[in-house]
Amino acid sequence: MSLNDSIKAVREQFRTAIEDIPNEPSKLEKIRVRFLGRKGEVAKLFATMGKIAAEERAEAGKQLNELKNELQSAFDSIVQKMGKSSKKSQADKFDYTLPGLYAPTGSIHPIESTLNEVKDIFKSIGFSVAYGPEVDDEYHNFDALNILEHHPARDMQDTFFVEDRAVLRTHTSNVQIHLMENKEPPIRYIVPGRVYRNEALSYKSFCLFHQVEGLYVDKNVSFAELKGTLDYFVRRMFGENVKIRFRPSFFPFTEPSAEIDLWNPERNQWLEILGCGMVNPKVFENVGYDPKVWHGYAFGIGIERMAMLKYKIKDIRDFYRNDVRFLEQF
């Protein structure tokens, strides 16, 4: 059989084979191997080139390449048509009237939500936001804040010691010392962050909680201004009709000092929500401020307590259990 006859025979065999593909698509790969594979019919024709006269090989090679390209093109076209048909078939089976699949979304944790609200209120009245170290030395956490060595707050039962004279901060007040050491007055900052205390766990206390420290230092700062600022904050946070009271208190780093209580009608009692006071002159001396020139106030807000009151949560431990049923409510 001449080369032309062999090419014609392979072409006819290929056309016959692909006629049945629409009914039996599983044969597609077998047809590719049979005609276009390394040992297929086209490859066998190329193998006969050695038996062809030298002067005829160029023409024979041209014919074989044309055959190969023809079959490959036809095969690729069939594959493409079958792919589109398959996709169309799948689309026809899809019911677009069915409801979509539920995609669960996250929510902002009540602690983060409360913290953001507190920051927004104070930023709206001119406070900047600063952050500081959660692990600090005793000087910044205690000494510079006029909490002397014999003070009960420095007892091992209250403070987590990381190593000698290094502690997990017990309040964000440590950052006010860093701020005053590095900035010249006037300064007006709030300092949000986590704090740690070695306390027994209960519905109202936890070993870590969040606090926002506030500090304002200028030449003519008064306790009346402190009271007005915090009164404004509490009413923005809980509403204009909330009932609050200022109560005298004591903190080593403020003098005079006070605490603010909020009336809780559900429990029929006053609940402490924050502590505050005028910055103690000794604190100013520790950071190099002249207490005869500069005056200031500071306050500390417990975010968990705020969130419990705002969202009517009875157990502080709920914030840290990672119970999705609890978190989904927010």
pTM: 0.67
Cα distance between residue 139 and residue 147, in whole Å = 9
Cα distance between residue 149 and residue 66, in whole Å = 96
* Cα-Cα-Cα-Cα dihedral sign, residues 150, 155, 158, 163: positive
Q: Closest by alpha carbon to 302, among 111, 147, 109, 108?
A: 111
Token readout for 188 is 């007006």
User: What integer pLDDT is reported at residue 314 of this predicted model?
Assistant: 87
Contacts of 255 (CB under 8 A, 6+ apart): 277, 278, 280, 281
Cβ atoms 159, 168 nearer than 8 A: yes
Locus of tokens 């193998």: 47
User: What integer pLDDT is reported at residue 155 of this predicted model?
Assistant: 72
pLDDT in tens, the chain (330 residues): 688 888 888 888 888 887 766 656 667 788 888 888 888 888 888 888 888 888 888 888 888 888 888 888 888 888 787 765 555 555 556 677 778 887 777 788 999 999 999 999 999 999 999 999 999 999 999 999 999 888 776 776 688 888 888 999 999 999 999 999 999 999 999 999 999 988 888 877 888 999 999 999 999 999 999 999 999 999 999 999 999 999 999 999 999 999 999 988 888 888 889 999 999 999 999 999 999 999 999 999 999 989 998 888 888 999 998 888 888 888
User: What integer pLDDT is reported at residue 84 of this predicted model?
Assistant: 59
Cβ atoms 41, 70 nearer than 8 A: no
Domain ranges of the chain: 3-93, 110-327
Cβ atoms 118, 303 nearer than 8 A: yes
CATH number, domain 110-327: 3.30.930.10
Cα distance between residue 330 and residue 109, in whole Å = 7
User: What integer pLDDT is reported at residue 83 of this predicted model?
Assistant: 67
Cα distance between residue 279 and residue 221, in whole Å = 10
User: What integer pLDDT is reported at residue 209 of this predicted model?
Assistant: 92
Cβ atoms 175, 193 nearer than 8 A: yes
